[in-house]
Amino acid sequence: MLQFLLHGLTVLLLPPLLPGLIAKTKARMAGRQGPPVLQLYYDLAKLARKRAVYSRTTTWVFLAGPVGGVAAGLAASALVPFGHTPAPISFEGDVILFAYLFGLARFLTILSALDTGSSFEGMGAAREATFSALAEPALFLGFAALAKANASLSLGTMLAFPGSLTTRFTGPLILILAGWVIVYLAENSRIPVDDPNTHLELTMIHEVMVLDHSGRPFALVLYGASLKLLVLGALILTPALPRAAHAWQNWLAFYAALAGLAVGVGLVESSMARFRMTKVPQFLVAGVLATGFAFLLMLV
Amino acid sequence: MSLYLLALLAAAVSGVPGLFLRRRGGEVATGLLGLAALLGLTASFRVLAGGSGGTLALRTAALGAPGLLVFDPLAAFFAIPVLVLAFCGSLYGLGYWESRRGNTPALRLVFGWLTASLVMLVAASHALTFLLAWEGMAIAAFLLVMAEDREAETRRAGWIYLVATHTGTLILIAAFALLARTTGQYGFTALPAGLAASRGGTILFVLFLLGFGFKAGILPLHFWLPPAHAAAPSHVSALMSGVLLKMGILGIARLLSWVPDPPLWWGGTLVALGVLSGLLGVAFALGQHDLKRLLAYHSIENIGIILLGLGLGTLGKSQGNPVLQTLGYAGALLHVVNHSLFKGLLFLSAGSVLHATGTRDLERLGGLGQRMPWTAAAFLAGSWAICGLPPLNGFVSEWLIYVGAFRGLGLGRQAWPVVILLSLALIGALALACFAKAFGAVFLGLPRTEAGARAQEAPRVMLLPMGLLALACLAIGVAPLFLMPALGRVVDTLGPAGGSGLPSLPGLGAISGMALALGLLALLLWRWLRPGSREDGLPTWDCGYATPDARMQYTASSFADGLVRGLRWALWPVVHRPKVSGWFPRPARYEGHVPDPVLDRAAAPGLRFGVRGAALLRVAQGGALPVYLLYVLLTLLVLLVWMVA
């Protein structure tokens, strides 16, 4: 019970910390002081008090994106184990629900972007739809490989099974995680797929889709994005974490790994530039190939 | 059985009073179809609930074993979408068709016939009744497609449909004849064990697959489908796409129910066809500008998903694995009903768009969400469901197939589970892109034409059936557990398996719980957003440009361009790209479309060639009576010689 409470509190309170960590890492790497780590919390508090502006072309669909993004993200968060602490809800086939909840969030975000009638937002929406179609097979090939390894269809057992990196599944596991890191960067609109800090709308993917959101809806958008960082992060961290004897050790390991992941993303962002748009599909196909090879290795 | 027969009768005569009544003919027809739906659904639910024998038959002594019509769980299950869509379509037709066309009574009459043929077909258990109903359905559908035969496009579509459906029927006649030769009777009975693996079994399977494939629109036999669905009145398109195609699936399901031991390659073939139809169906949909053609290609995609499920079930059956068999068949059959509901909904709302704006061209629509909010909500519900997104019904059936495929991974070194998984994932992602494009282009942003800007919401009589279908989609998606006992009984008609184990799948309850949680969360967040003070009536912030207009919007073609270009090796898009040169380039036009490769590159040229060949035969048909008498005489002579020799 206490575990579930902690799970819920983590989901509700922790996410805004992750973008802060990434930004701090990037700033430090660039030799700047950077915004405080808690910046996103301040932003959310400010946005919650601000008035929202609605374009006259928009309908209720405009709000479905932010609402759906957060609702689906929260629902998905209940399915994923945080490290070796089991997920609150776990059943056979929850993998599919997990993936499709993110599909739902994406669908509604795309629609709310198109609702503004702006060409820029349409462009971002088209890119999101295109690139995520390539990320989906990588995600599912990874699931298939893990399911093959331990004959389980439930996210909890599937992810927590490898435990340590000493089994004969080490090779495939590394490939799966490599493929999923690519998916992680793409789904969270990070360099090298998308640059969240760019000032040029023509080159954005995710940021350009929410240009017209403001006030509380925008707070939901920002929170939803950070929630995605956490939930998908748990997906790729859990198989890599060693299993500890005590629950508190597992939690500690998970939080440490999460911070490490955020710093890692910051390091990637500091060390390379965004790919040209035409290169992005190739990058995503690399993810598909990595997970595909992992699956093949599982067959051997 | 009597309820079922009454439903059949009510549907068949539903259009007749309209021929004599001066007014209210449409209401009477709809009322009769409603009565048919009430009676038929009662009969269906009774059989599916397992009560009173479960199976009811109409027998005649002369025709032997199973009788002419057997209302078993499979028939009862397929009867549900038929009756629901027929009633909804008829109700919708009151607003959509009645007011403006001259041939209304005839159309209503044929609509009733189509419904009656479909109702008869689901229960047919004898080659005679099956082919009779099959042909009745084909002809009635042809007449309905031709409702607007003043337009050349419609005539062409109807003609192609007629050729395709009759080719399929011919193949089916051959298949049934062959079947009767092996089993010794024309009634539908189980085939002897071992037959399926023999050469006779192979020929039977291929013939049935071809015959039913034409109707179901399995790639590459789908070519009649997009033009016919685009040309037919929308409530007819809904019935065609929602139910007519499924009769091909019903045929395949019946075939599978007769075979106790399908060879492995049967299932493999079904999976391969499913992958082909599913992926290429959605890929071609992405390239369409015509709203109804786009929906038609999505029907092909969904037939692909159904085939993936059927293939999975058949592979399970071949390997003696009841779990896979149950999950595969259950997913496929549930998707049959689900697809009927959400595709019916989509075609009806597309019809409202056409009704309000007079165009199906995505590039000329836009911004209808503000003027037609209910139609937009209906289309959104349909899109939501067809993309398989929770918590609507499309997710449940795809989930069953997914779980089956994941279970199949444990079966040692077999490639097909991962093929099914990957195809489903990719189909889902592409369908999402395609429906984001369709919904965005039609309902969001600014209207692109005058007609769009003046569009009016559809009348209530058209909105009501859409609402009914949307509710059904939601109900199945939120509470799938209630369906499972019935679905288990239907699955068990396809061969003894663990259909009764379906309700104990642990995930189904959890899906309901998650659906409720999702709804609750959304409601809470929505309430948090609403009261905030707001600033309305400002333009879209177009990166500093204050007067964005409709021409600057991202179009449907642009939206899909990345994917269409990525898939050009499969789609062969035709693009007319202007060359822009010089300092002051002249006005230019860009045009691109994705033609159907089978129809435009193979079937149509082939048909033209065939027609030219047939012209040569005209020499023999001069029209002069003496010549014909001469033919008769010659035939007699030849027969005489043959008999003597």
Q: Write out pLDDT tens, residues A11-26.
A: 999 999 999 999 999 9
Give the mean model confidence (pLDDT) for residues B601-625: 81
Indicate if the pLDDT at residue A166 is higher than 80.
Answer: no
> Within its chain, how far is the Cα of A188 from the centroid?
5
What residue of A is the nearest CA neighbor of B521?
A71
Q: Is the pLDDT of residue A164 over 50?
A: no
Closest partner CB to B433 (pick from A53, A130, A139):
A130
pLDDT in tens, B147-195: 888 888 899 999 899 989 999 999 999 999 999 888 888 888 888 888 8
- Name residue, tokens 């967040």: B525
Cβ of B538 within 8 Å of Cβ of A55? The answer is yes
The nearest CA of chain A is from the CA of B612 a distance in Å of: 45
- pLDDT tens for each residue of B476-491: 999 999 889 899 989 9
Taking each helix axis as running N to C, give the angle between helix B416-443 and helix B393-408, from 0 to 180 degrees, rounded to the nearest 10.
160
Contacts 24+ apart (CB under 8 A), A195-202: A195/A274, A198/A274, A201/A120, A201/B543, A202/A120, A202/A123
Mean per-residue pLDDT for A79-105? 91
More confident position, B305 or B453:
B305
ipTM of the complex: 0.95
Q: How confident is the model at residue B393, as a pLDDT?
A: 93
Q: Which of A213-227, B140-154, B447-461, B605-619 has the lowest mean pLDDT?
A: B605-619
Q: Is B436 on the interface with A (CB under 8 A)?
A: yes
Cα within 13 Å of Cα(B381), Cβ side: 27
CB contact under 8 A, B513 and A89: yes
A165 has pLDDT over 60: no
pLDDT band at B638 (very low <50, low <70, confident <90, very high): very high
Average pLDDT value for residue range A130-146? 91
Tell me whether residues B429 and A93 touch, CB distance under 8 A. Answer: no
The alpha carbons of chain A give a radius of gyration, in whole angstroms, of 19
The model's pLDDT over B514-545, given as tens digits with 9 standing for 90+, comes to: 999 999 999 999 999 876 566 777 888 877 77
Q: Do B426 and A133 touch (CB under 8 A)?
A: yes
**What is the chain A residue with the closest CA to B398?**
A96
**How sure is the predictor about B57, in pLDDT bands with cuts at 50, 70 and 90?**
low
Mean pLDDT of B447-470: 91
Comparing CB atoms, the residue among B443, B532, B539 nearest residue A56 is: B539
Q: How far apart are CA A198 and CA B349, in angstroms?
A: 40
Nearest to B436 among A125, A139, A215 (CB): A125
Average pLDDT over residues B246-259: 94
Q: Give the separation between CA B17 and CA B516, rounded to whole angstroms.
A: 46
- pLDDT tens digits for range B575-589: 888 888 888 888 888
Containing structural domain, residue A105: 2-299
Hey, what amino acid is at A129?
A
Mean pLDDT of B241-259: 93
Cα B348 versus chain centre, distance: 13
Q: Does B422 touch chain A (CB under 8 A)?
A: yes
pLDDT in tens, B324-383: 999 999 999 999 999 999 999 999 999 999 989 989 999 899 889 999 999 999 999 999
- Residue B231 is inside which H or E element, if any? helix B225-231
Average pLDDT, chain B: 88
pLDDT, tens digit, for every residue of B128-144? 889 999 999 999 999 99
What is the Cα–Cα distance from B51 to B384, expressed in whole angstroms?
35
Q: Is B471 on the interface with A (CB under 8 A)?
A: no
Q: Cβ contacts (< 8 Å) between A295 and chain B: which residues? A: 418
Listed range (B22-36, B77-91, B385-399) with the worst mean pLDDT: B22-36
Percent pLDDT > 70 in chain B is 96
Counting the structural domains of chain A, the total is 1
The residue count for chain B: 645
Q: Are A77 and A49 in contact (CB under 8 A)?
A: no
Q: Which residues of B touch A70 (CB under 8 A)?
A: 521, 525
Look up residue B515 and give its two tokens.
């659906």
Measured between CA atoms, how close is A13 to chain B, in angstroms? 16
Read off the pLDDT band of A269 (50, 70, 90).
Answer: very high
Q: Is the dihedral of CA B501, B506, B511, B516 positive or negative?
A: positive
Spatial contact of B549 and B561, defined as CB atoms under 8 Å apart: no
